[in-house]
């Protein structure tokens, strides 16, 4: 604690010295003089962040002080409105720093993140635990019928009041002190978890130096591995990393079972190697603190706290839902495992199917059953064409146009920037960053350097959206060629981007619950393999010929292949998340034992590992999905049903349905109750049958 206090004092001293010196040289201290006010990345240095953060903290403190000192009776206009508009500089520097720390980090940014964590935690607590501010917010909330509020303003007021209560504003002075300490420690632990995971992911490479050890691998995979080795200064060798575009093809095609085991084991042991980057103790501490914090705030468990403001509402409902899906999927997964074991036996293998065998034998069965593999379809999924396909869908549905811009600053050469317009009018900026690198965390996500809103005077602020994936990169002789699953990932993140671009709200902030926010992204995946869309973008990268009908038929028919595995590995992770977060007592966990007992409880078969094991489950320890990972499959109920609204009309580009989806879902953001939003679009609540049918489990 002493170190933190000393750092805050020192940082404050440093900050005072920056006031004059940095005013004109620190980009954050001035309006971004760039096209569409995109951050001037080439001018932003690591040294600029901390002074900008500190000035942002000071500005917001001053703004909050003005609200507190206002002698007038609290109203929406003099309390809630200035509160939600406070901290604009802080938001601006936070959005840039957060995005780059995820997509293009370095030692300097990671050091800043560690140092910043306790300061940010204290700043947030100083606001949310301020008695006078809370009394004013509570007064407005208690007198809300007196004010002539719009629907959005009513929701904003309700959310603001509940945010204060859930942040501990109603606690005693003693309990507020306890909460502050917990928040600070949790913030630091989350940062450390993410940095450990990045180090573990980058810390292993499977290096092959004998050509015979490449047996079974397609030429494209071999070329990719050679390019990776070259980037690691290992010319003449082949390298496979723990990034999915590198690892998965090796597991699918390599005849070397021992090497498949080596690579897969390195992947599922990330953060669990009893080294300097081990995450087990961090997880145990986070779990314990979350229970204690929930009790302090009046909840039985962390999941009770989190789920209160979701569509599901309670952990019991989530567990019941996951149980239904699990019971439907597990028999399919067992049948898939049995089919693979039969093939192993038929080929004379003297071993039992293991997790590192699943992709390999699944690929063989898929080839045998459908005469299809990823390498046959990759030539038709050139990444530039896939992006053109998703732009085409957005144009047909919402009338959006995407124009590539090369005159706009970007944070990495891999980034492609597009201006988005409709009817000739500016809608926003979309920046797409597609390829893996050591400075980027794994996975795919969508964020914003600036979210859509109106300023305090009502002027429209247009969004600057960033969309990040880890797709198969190009090589010296081939462009980036994707699997159909990678194409789906692009469409998925693009769905999030559309929600950000088509947002039409007044006030900053506000967010959708985790079990609704994936609807805009997951519905987009339905267009990927629609024949009308494929003929637009699925063209052979060499010949330009459209993907053959017979290949499309195979893709569609194989779409429900291996869904037992896909569903079980996902639900296993969702259940693991819930097992941690339904704990009602703050116990000291042995992470390996807890994970094993949790999976044994549900009968997970040994041939399948959860999609994310505890020690690399970034979603729930550092990614904001704690007690919420179930949300992806919960949203599948919504997206399967929502896409039917288009299909039922006989036109997947039905303008009337698209306009209703934009009006009731995409444009609303967090300004309305999500269930009300969905019913306004669809006219009814969805049921689980749509999900099971969509996955071929019914």
Kindly compute the dihedral angle of the four CA atoms of residues 408, 396, 382, 517, in this order, to the nearest 10 degrees.
70
486 catalytic per annotation:
no
| CA gap 691, 685 in Å, rounded | 13
Residue-by-residue DSSP string for 331-351: HHHHHHHHHHHHHHHHTT--S
| CA gap 214, 238 in Å, rounded | 9
Torsion region of 192: left, alpha or beta (phi above 0 gives left; psi -120 to 50 gives alpha): alpha
Both tokens of residue 346? 């038929």
Determine contact, residues 59/93, Cβ cutoff 8 Å: no
| CA gap 466, 410 in Å, rounded | 11
Torsion region of 383: left, alpha or beta (phi above 0 gives left; psi -120 to 50 gives alpha): alpha
Helices and strands, counts by H and E, the chain: 29, 9
SS3 233: coil
Determine contact, residues 78/66, Cβ cutoff 8 Å: no
Torsion region of 233: left, alpha or beta (phi above 0 gives left; psi -120 to 50 gives alpha): left
369 CA to centre of own chain: 34
Determine contact, residues 638/661, Cβ cutoff 8 Å: no
Torsion region of 387: left, alpha or beta (phi above 0 gives left; psi -120 to 50 gives alpha): alpha
Determine contact, residues 291/581, Cβ cutoff 8 Å: no
Contacts of 569 (CB under 8 A, 6+ apart): 608, 609, 610, 611
Q: 427 phi and psi, to 5 degrees?
A: -110, -40
In DSSP terms, 238 is beta-bridged to 208
Distances (CA, A) of 543 to 152, 379, 385, 388, 653: 52, 10, 13, 17, 28
Annotated active-site residue in 184, 419, 493, 607: 493
Contacts of 61 (CB under 8 A, 6+ apart): 123, 126
In DSSP terms, 418 is beta-bridged to 404, 430
Residue whose tokens read 């932003």: 44
Active site residues: 493
């Amino acid at each position: 604690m002493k170190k933190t206090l000393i750092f805050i004092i020192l940082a404050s001293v440093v900050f005072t010295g920056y006031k004059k010196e940095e005013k004109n040289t620190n980009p954050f201290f001035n309006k971004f003089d760039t096209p569409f006010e995109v951050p001037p990345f080439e001018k932003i240095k690591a040294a600029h962040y901390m002074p900008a953060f500190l000035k942002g903290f000071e500005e917001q403190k001053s703004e909050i002080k003005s609200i507190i000192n206002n002698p007038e009776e609290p109203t929406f206009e003099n309390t809630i409105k200035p509160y939600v508009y406070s901290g604009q500089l802080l938001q601006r520097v936070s959005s840039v720093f957060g995005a780059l720390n995820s997509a293009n980090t370095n030692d300097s940014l990671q050091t800043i993140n560690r140092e910043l964590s306790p300061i940010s935690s204290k700043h947030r607590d100083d606001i949310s635990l301020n008695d006078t501010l809370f009394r004013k917010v509570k007064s407005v909330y208690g007198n809300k019928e007196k004010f002539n509020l719009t629907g959005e303003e009513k929701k904003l007021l309700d959310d603001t009041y509940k945010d204060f209560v859930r942040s501990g504003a109603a606690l005693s002075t003693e309990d507020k002190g306890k909460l502050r300490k917990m928040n600070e420690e949790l913030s630091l632990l989350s940062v450390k978890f993410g940095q450990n995971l990045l180090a573990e992911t980058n810390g292993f490479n499977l290096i092959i130096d004998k050509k015979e050890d490449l047996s079974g691998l397609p030429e494209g995979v071999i070329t990719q591995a050679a390019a990776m080795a070259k980037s690691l200064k290992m010319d003449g060798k082949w390298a496979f990393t723990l990034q999915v575009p590198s690892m998965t093809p090796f597991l699918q095609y390599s005849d070397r079972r021992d090497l498949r085991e080596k690579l897969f084991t390195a992947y599922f042991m990330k953060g669990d190697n009893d080294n300097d980057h081990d995450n087990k103790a961090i997880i145990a501490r986070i779990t314990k603190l979350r229970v204690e914090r929930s009790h302090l705030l009046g909840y039985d468990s962390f999941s009770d706290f989190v789920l209160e403001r979701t569509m599901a509402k309670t952990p019991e409902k989530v567990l019941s839902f996951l149980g239904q899906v699990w019971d439907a999927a597990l028999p399919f997964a067992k049948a898939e495992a049995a089919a693979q074991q039969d093939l192993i036996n038929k080929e004379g293998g003297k071993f039992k199917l293991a997790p590192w065998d699943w992709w390999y034998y699944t690929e063989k069965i898929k080839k045998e059953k459908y005469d299809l593999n990823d390498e046959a379809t990759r030539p038709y999924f050139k990444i530039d064409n896939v992006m053109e396909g998703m732009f085409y869908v957005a144009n047909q549905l919402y009338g959006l146009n995407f124009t590539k811009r090369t005159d706009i600053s970007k944070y990495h050469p891999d980034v492609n920037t597009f201006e988005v317009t409709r009817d000739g009018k500016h809608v926003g900026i979309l920046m797409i960053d597609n390829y893996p690198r050591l400075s980027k965390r794994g996975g795919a996500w969508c964020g914003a350097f600036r979210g859509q809103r109106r300023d305090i005077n009502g002027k429209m602020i247009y969004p600057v959206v960033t969309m990040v994936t880890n797709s198969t990169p190009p090589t010296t002789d081939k462009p980036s060629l994707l699997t159909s699953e990678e194409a789906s990932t692009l469409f998925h993140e693009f769905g999030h981007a559309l929600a950000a671009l088509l947002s039409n709200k007044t006030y900053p902030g506000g967010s959708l619950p985790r079990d609704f926010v994936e609807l805009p992204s997951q519905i987009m995946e339905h267009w990927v393999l629609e024949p009308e869309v494929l003929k637009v973008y699925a063209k052979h990268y060499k010949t330009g010929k459209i993907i053959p009908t017979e290949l499309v038929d195979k893709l569609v028919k194989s779409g429900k292949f291996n869904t037992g595995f896909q569903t079980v590995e996902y639900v296993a992770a969702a259940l693991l998340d819930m097992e941690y977060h339904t704990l009602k007592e703050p116990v000291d966990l042995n992470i390996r034992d807890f994970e094993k007992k949790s999976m044994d409880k549900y009968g997970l078969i040994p041939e399948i590992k959860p999609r994310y094991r505890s020690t690399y489950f970034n979603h729930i320890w550092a990614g904001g999905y704690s007690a919420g990972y179930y949300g992806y499959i919960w949203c599948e109920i919504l997206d399967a049903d929502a896409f039917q609204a288009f299909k039922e009309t006989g036109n997947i580009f039905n303008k009337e349905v698209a306009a209703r989806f934009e009006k009731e879902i995409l444009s609303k953001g967090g300004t309305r109750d999500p269930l009300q939003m969905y019913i306004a679009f669809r006219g009814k609540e969805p049921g689980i049958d749509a999900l099971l049918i969509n996955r071929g489990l019914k």
